Amino acid sequence: MYPTFTKDSYGNVIFTQPAYTPIRLLGDDLVVPDPEEPASEQSSPLSGPKDVFIDSKDHVYIADTGNNRIVHFDENLRFLRYIESKSSPFKAPEGVFVDQEGDVYVADTGNKRVVHLDSEGNFVQEMGRPNSRFIPEDFKYDPIKVVADRRGYLYVVTLGGYRGLLQMDQEGNFQSFYGANKTEFSVLDAVKRALYTEEMYANEISKLPGAISNVAIGPDGFIYTSTSGNISNSQVKRLNYEGKNLLVNSTELLEGESKSLSFGERLWTRYSEEGRKLLPQIADLAVDQYGNIIAIDQQYRFVNQYDSYGNLLFFWGGRSAPSSTQLGLIKNPVAVAVNSRNELFVLDDQENVLQVFRLSEFGQLVYHANDLTNKGFYAESEPYWHRVLELNAQYTPAILGLAKTAYQKEDYATAKELFRRAGDQVGYSDSFWQLRLRWFQERFSFFATLFVALSAVYLAGGRFVRKLAARFAARRSPRTHPVWEQLKHAFYMLKHPIDGFTALRFENKGGYRGAILILIGMYAALLAYRMFTSFSFLKAEEHSVNALTVFIQFSLVWFVWVVCNYLISSIYRGEGRFKDVFVGSAYALIPFALFAIPLTLISNALTLSEEAIYQYLLYGLVVWVGAMFFWKVQSLQNYGVGETVVNILLSVFAMVVTGVLAFIVIGLSNELRLFIYEVYQEVTLR
C-alpha cells in the first residue's frame, strides 16, 4: 500500500493514514474463444488500455486500445461481454462513454471518428470530422475522449486540441469549440512579438494554450476538463454552459476577483536533461457523488484527491520500481473512475490492469465530515472532524472544518485561532472582524464618555500645559549629545530630504554612530513587521520567523548596496565619500524605521475588507524609502536626474552580479578547499 500524504496551507507535506485500500485487479484474466479450437479458450488480457468509464448502474467499461475493443463488466465486476462493432470494427479506441439509456459512445482514434452504439452494442452511427466553415483547415480530428451531456450534445477531446472541446449535436454537426484554455502572455512574449517576424512568431509553441487531455461529467451536470502541458495552474476546470471555469479561489475583497487553483502534487521536483522543471501532467479526472475530484498525474504518478472547491484532501502513489508487480501498485496511471460506492478504479496501461480500491476507515471519516461541512451542516460534522484529528492531529482539512464550525457557533476567538492554523486568511479576517465589532459594541459608551472628558480637559487645561512646557524648556541645558544631534537631523530629513542629505556631506550632520542606531531601528522595525503583521495580510507560519535569518538577510543586502553604490559612484564621476554613502544609505531608511511598527500595529486592527487602506500605507512607505534613496544618490554625488537613474540601475546590476558570483563561489568552495589543500601538500612535501 502506498504512503499517503496531504499538505498544510503553507505547502508542507504531512503524512496521513491511507485513504484507500486495494481490493482486486481486473483485466488480467480475460479470455476469448480459440480461433483454431472454438470449443476452448485462450488468454486475452488487456493491451494498452486508455480509458475506463462507470455508468449509472456501476457497470465498468474499459477501452482496450491494443485489442480494438471495449470490455464490459457488471456492478460486481463480473465479465459480461466484448463490444467490438463487427460491422465497422474499431481501430485503437482510446475513449468510451455510456449515457443514461445505456448507449455507448466510443472515441475510435485510429479511424478518426466517434462511434455511437445502442445498449446492445449495435452500430447506430459514426461521426467523422464535422463539415463547418468555423473549423480551421489545419484542425486535426483525432478523437481520444468523448462524453455526452443530458441534452445529447457530445464533447470530444482531440489529440493536441488546444482550441478546446469539440462540441457536436446528436447528429454530429459542429456547434462550437468549448472550454478552450487561455494563453499566458508574459513580458518575454511581448518582446518576441515586437522583435520577431510574423513567420518566426508563428512558430512559437509557447504562445499556444495547453491542450485538453481529458473530459468528465460530474453528478452536478458540469463539464470537467483536465489539461496537460507546461502550465502551473488551472490544470482542472469545472465549466459552466458558457465554458467559464468555476473552479477558482474567489474572494469578496473585490467583486469578480478570483485566483486560479493549482492541481497535481509532488514530493520533489524533477528536471529534464535540458534543466527544465517538469510539471505535473494531469491525464484524467473523475468526480464522485460528493463532488470530490480525483485527478491522476502521469509525470509523478500520483493519485490526487480534492474536494468540490479544489482543496487538497490526499495524494498517494508515486514512481515504483519497474520490476515490482503487486496489488495496489500503479506503474503508469492513464485513466480513473469512481462508482456509487466510492470505490476507485485506476487504469494502468503499463501493467495492463484495472486496480480497484475501497475507502479506508480514515478516508470514509474525511469524506463524510467534509461533505457535511460543504453542505453547511457544521455542528453535525464536528464529531467526525474531532475523530479525524484524533487519528492525525496535523490534518489541515479537519482544522479548517472545526474552524468553520466554531465560526457558525459564534465562537469567534476559537475560530480565529483555528483559521490561522489552517492558513485561511479570509476566515481569520472574518472572525477578527466579528471580534472587533463585539469589542466596540461592548465598550462604545465608555469610549464616548472618555472622549468627551478628554476634550474638556484639553480645552480647559491647554493654556496651562503650554506655559508649563515653556518654563521647562527655558530651564533645560542647551548642551546636547552629538549622537542626539545626528538622530535629530534624521527627523529633519523627513521634511527636507535634499537639504538634509546635502548637510550630511558638507556640514557633517550625520555620523557612523547615528547611522548604526538607525540601522538597529530599521532591523527592529523589519523584524516586527515580519513577526507581528496581522495574519490577514501576511501569511506566515507561527514561530517561523528567525531573527538571525532576518538580520543576515537585511545586513547583507544593505551592505552590498553600500559597497556597489560607492564603487559605481566612484567610477561614474560621483563626489561622495564612502562615509557619505554609508551614512546616507542608513538615513534613507528612516521612514521605514519610524513608521513600520505603527503600520504593523494598525494591521492588527484591520480586516481584509480594509486591505486597500493597509496596502496604500505599506506601498506608500516603500515608495517613500525609494524616493529617499534617489535623493540620497542625487545629493551626495551631485548628479542630475538622469545620472541618478543610471547610477541606481548600475548599482542594482552590480548587486545582482555580486550575488551570482557569491553563489558560484559558495558552490565551488569545497573544490577550492581541496585545491588549496593539495597545493599545500605539494609545497610541504617538496
Question: Which of 655, 514, 622 shows the shortest CA–CA distance to 630?
Answer: 622
Alpha-carbon span 69 to 219, nearest angstrom: 27
Q: What is the DSSP string of 132-169?
A: -TTS-TT----EEEEEE-TT--EEEEETT-TT-EEEE-
The per-residue pLDDT for 252 is 39
pLDDT of residue 316: 92
CA separation for the pair 61, 567 (Å, rounded): 72
Number of C-beta neighbours around residue 204 at 10 A: 12
Res. 493 pLDDT band, cuts 50 70 90? confident
What's the half-sphere exposure (Cβ side, CA atoms, 13 Å) at 336? 28
Pairing label, strands 143-148, 154-158: antiparallel
Single out the residue of 683, 18, 666 nearest to residue 316, CA to CA: 18
- Judged against a pLDDT cut of 90, whether residue 609 lies above it is answered with no
Distance CA 291, CA 284 (A): 16
pLDDT of residue 340: 93
User: Quick one: pLDDT at residue 112?
Assistant: 96
Q: What 3 state SS string does 635-676 have? A: HHHCCCHHHHHHHHHHHHHHHHHHHHHHHHHHHCHHHHHHHH
pLDDT of res. 256: 43
For the record, the C-alpha cell of 102 comes out as 445505456
Asked whether the predicted pLDDT for residue 372 surpasses 90, the reply is: yes
Mean pLDDT for the chain?
86
Band the pLDDT of 479: cuts 50, 70, 90: very low
**pLDDT score of 541:** 67
pLDDT at 257: 47
- Does this chain's domain 50-314 share its CATH topology with 361-476? no
Chain position carrying cell 445498449: 119
DSSP 92: S
Kindly give, in sequence order, each residue whose CB lies less than 8 Å from that of residue 263, ignoring residues fewer than 6 positions away: 233, 235, 236, 280, 282, 295, 304, 306, 310
- Which pLDDT band holds residue 160 (cuts at 50, 70, 90)? confident
> Residue 214, Cβ neighbours under 10 Å: how many?
26
All residues at 6 or more sequence positions from 19 whose CB lies less than 8 Å from its CB, including other chains:
4, 305, 313, 314, 316, 359, 360, 362, 363, 366
Per-residue pLDDT, 277: 86
Q: Which CATH number fits domain 50-314: 3.40.640.10, 1.20.1090.10, 3.30.413.10, 2.120.10.30?
A: 2.120.10.30
Model confidence at 342: pLDDT above 50: yes
Put residue 130 in one of left, alpha, beta given phi > 0 → left and psi -120 to 50 → alpha. beta
| pLDDT over 60 (residue 468) | no
426-448 pLDDT per residue, tens: 889 999 999 988 888 888 778 77
pLDDT digits (tens, 9 = 90+) for 543-590: 678 889 899 999 999 999 999 999 999 888 888 889 989 999 999 999
3-state helix, strand, coil in the chain (%, to 5): 45, 20, 35
pLDDT band at 362 (very low <50, low <70, confident <90, very high): very high
Q: Which fold has domain 361-476?
A: 1.25.40
pLDDT of residue 461: 67
In this structure, what C-alpha cell is assigned to residue 57?
448502474
In this structure, are residues 102 and 119 in contact, taking their beta carbons and an 8 Å threshold?
yes
Confidence band for 138, pLDDT divided at 50, 70 and 90: confident
Bigger pLDDT: 193 vs 649: 649
- The confidence score (pLDDT) of residue 185 equals 64
**Long-range CB contacts for residues 297-300, cutoff 8 Å, separation at least 24:** 297/264, 297/265, 297/266, 297/333, 298/228, 298/332, 298/333, 298/334, 299/264, 299/270, 300/264, 300/265, 300/266, 300/267, 300/270
Weakest-pLDDT range from 440-454, 583-597, 646-660: 440-454
Asked if 325 and 351 touch (Cβ cutoff 8 Å), the reply is yes
Q: Which pLDDT score, from 0 to 100, does residue 86 have? A: 85
Does 196 or 225 have the greater pLDDT score?
A: 225
Q: Where are the domains positioned within the chain?
A: 50-314, 361-476, 482-672
> Does position 126 have pLDDT exceeding 80, yes or no?
yes
Q: Is the pLDDT of residue 610 over 70?
A: yes
CA distance 147 to 430: 41
pLDDT score, position 467: 63
33: pLDDT confidence band, cut at 50, 70 and 90?
confident
pLDDT tens digits along 249-295? 754 333 444 567 889 999 888 888 877 889 999 999 999 999 999 99
Judged by average pLDDT, the poorest of 13-17, 312-316, 506-510 is: 506-510
pTM of the model as a whole:
0.77
Residues whose CB falls within 8 Å of the CB of residue 4, separated by 6 or more in sequence, listed in order: 15, 16, 17, 18, 19, 314, 315, 316
Using a pLDDT cut of 90, give the percent of the chain over it: 53
Give the residue with greater pLDDT, 591 vs 673. 591
Would the CA dihedral through 677, 681, 683, 684 be positive or negative?
positive
| Residue 608 to residue 537: CA distance in whole angstroms | 7
275 secondary structure, DSSP code: S
